[in-house]
């Protein structure tokens, strides 16, 4: 277990911790991680920007274990202002105790997600207007 969290109550920026978690997973220092922010939404959005990260915001134990089993979720995101401490413990237990499914349908879906991630942004960049044009339009 590795603790990448804050050490006190000083406000921090959740994208920094999402990046630290992503680096720990991608480098194989850890297999899974728990990421917490106020609502959990921002941390979930930030974590999912990193290749190889499959973060899920969960408020119930079914989603916490099913996300691992069916969707190969490797980051559990919790809303610290949304759920209580007891529920957080239950969610982490369900997440940590779950095993990824090797059923054909789950592997097929996982492969499709990997393929989307591999081409993510490339085809959209070629179809979208030049970034300078977008910036110039915003400045007008």
Residues annotated catalytic, as ranges = 37, 70
Q: How far is CA 57 from the centre of its chain?
A: 8
Instruction: Assess contact for 77 and 35: CB atoms under 8 A.
Output: yes
Q: How far is CA 123 from the centre of its chain?
A: 23
One-character DSSP codes across 109-125: HHHHHHHHHHHTTHHHH
| 135 C-beta neighbours (distance < 10 Å), count | 9
């Amino acid at each position: 277990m590795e603790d990448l969290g804050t050490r006190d109550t000083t406000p921090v920026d959740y994208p920094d911790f999402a990046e630290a978690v992503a680096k720990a997973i991608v480098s194989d220092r850890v297999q899974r991680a728990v990421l917490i922010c106020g609502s959990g939404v921002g941390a979930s959005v930030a974590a999912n920007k990193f290749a190889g990260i499959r973060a899920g915001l969960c408020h119930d134990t079914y989603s916490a274990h099913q996300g691992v089993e069916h969707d190969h979720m490797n980051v559990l995101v919790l809303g610290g202002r949304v759920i209580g401490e007891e529920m957080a413990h239950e969610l982490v237990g369900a997440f940590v105790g779950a095993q990824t499914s090797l059923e054909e349908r789950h592997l097929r879906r996982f492969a499709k997600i990997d393929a989307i991630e591999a081409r993510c942004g490339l085809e959209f960049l070629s179809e979208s207007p030049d970034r300078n044009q977008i910036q110039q339009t915003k400045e007008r």
